[in-house]
Structure 1
Amino acid sequence: MVPVAGTSCVYTPHSVRNATAPKICRDFVGTVLRCAGQDGDLVDGAVLCASELVGNSCLHADGDSLMLRVLLCPPCVRGGVYDGSAVRPRPPAAMPGPDCTQGRGLGPVEALARSWGTVEGDPLGWYAKGLWFELGLSGAAPAGPAATSSGPSV
């Protein structure tokens, strides 16, 4: 069941920044969305976006932990990953070739999310910056146009 418009639910696990973090966060996002009655492309897209952002944090950020936030706020779901690095990443000018093992993280997020961006800090004041993405919930009315700049935090 899609959450009722006007209500929202926030889920916020914290994780150590290590090799298991992307898998744990993928599983968490998928479980939250499936429990909210979502499936298919939405779950796959949100899981991939969260995994890419967590993976980037594990590879490039400072500190020993990160925070994942999943916000169900019909008509959308927003995901955010917060870490200790104040450096805001940028998508690559071009996608790397098929033999390259890194450098795709923000490309798939940009392709899948209806909007995404970066924010300074997190709602709790524990982390230096966050990256967020937004996808439309299945069965919910569409929202406005995409924007890939600093914008809503999760």
Structure 2
Amino acid sequence: MDSDHESDDRPPRRPPVPSRDPYVYTLQSSRHATSPKVCRDFVACVLNSVGQEELVDTATLCTSELATNAFLHAEGDSLMLRVVIEPPRFRVLVYDASAELPTGARLPEGDRLRGRGLGLVAALADAWGTAEGDTVGTYAKGVWFELAGKAEGDED
């Protein structure tokens, strides 16, 4: 058979059908001073890889705030970052071992340097909140934020 012609017993070539399932990326990290940087770099990599570059600055700032809170205020020796992409929505969850729910989601008045993290997340994200911990029991709670990205097929 001529190599330029396809055999009749092969299926026709069709473009892949995009999945309707969410994309989920997970990172487990030590609860360490470097955790916020590792988490925000991971989120930036995921967003750049899936064509949502316009969300990188806001997403990395919000991720850094949640990971910093987990480092400073949580218990246990690790945290888990989960990135969920359900176009056009993008959600980041940071899980830690502390059952204590976050407080203070307002920007403080004046020039206080501490206590601004959740206020920034609340101001920049389209939505945010808390989630129950994992089913295994390693993490007691999650704190998440969500951003709306461009839908598939949207032009810049």
Interval containing the TM-score (normalised by the shorter chain) = 0.7 to 0.9
User: Cα gap change, 1:113/1:124 in structure 2, threshold over 3 Å: closer, same or farther?
Assistant: farther
Matched residues in 1 for 2:24 and 2:94: separation? Answer: 13
Secondary structure, in 3 states, of the residue corresponding to 1:77? strand
Report deviation, 1:137.
Answer: 1.4
After TM superposition, the runs of 4+ consecutive aligned structure 1 residues lying more than 4 A away are none
Equivalent in 65, 68, 71 of residue 78 of structure 2:
65
Q: Would you say 1:23 and 2:37 are equivalent positions?
A: yes
Q: Would you say 1:35 and 2:49 are equivalent positions?
A: yes
Matched residues in 2 for 1:94 and 1:112: separation? Answer: 12
Of all paired residues, the percent bearing the same amino acid is 54
Secondary structure, in 3 states, of the residue corresponding to 1:50? helix
Unaligned runs of 5+ in 2: 1-17
Q: Name the structure 1 match of 2:148.
A: 136
> Which amino acid is the alignment partner of residue 139 of structure 2?
Y
Report deviation, 1:126.
Answer: 2.0
Matched residues in 2 for 1:6 and 1:91: separation? Answer: 36
> Which amino acid is the alignment partner of residue 14 of structure 1?
Q
Report deviation, 1:82.
Answer: 0.3
Secondary structure, in 3 states, of the residue corresponding to 2:61? helix
RMSD: 1.8
Give the total of aligned pairs.
Answer: 136
Matched residues in 2 for 1:122 and 1:104: separation? Answer: 27
Task: Give the TM-score normalised by structure 2.
Answer: 0.80
Report deviation, 1:35.
Answer: 0.5
Task: Give the TM-score normalised by structure 1.
Answer: 0.81
Unaligned runs of 5+ in 1: 142-154
Secondary structure, in 3 states, of the residue corresponding to 1:69? strand
Secondary structure, in 3 states, of the residue corresponding to 1:14? strand
> Which gives a bigger RCO, structure 1 or 2 (Cα 8 Å, sep 6+)?
1
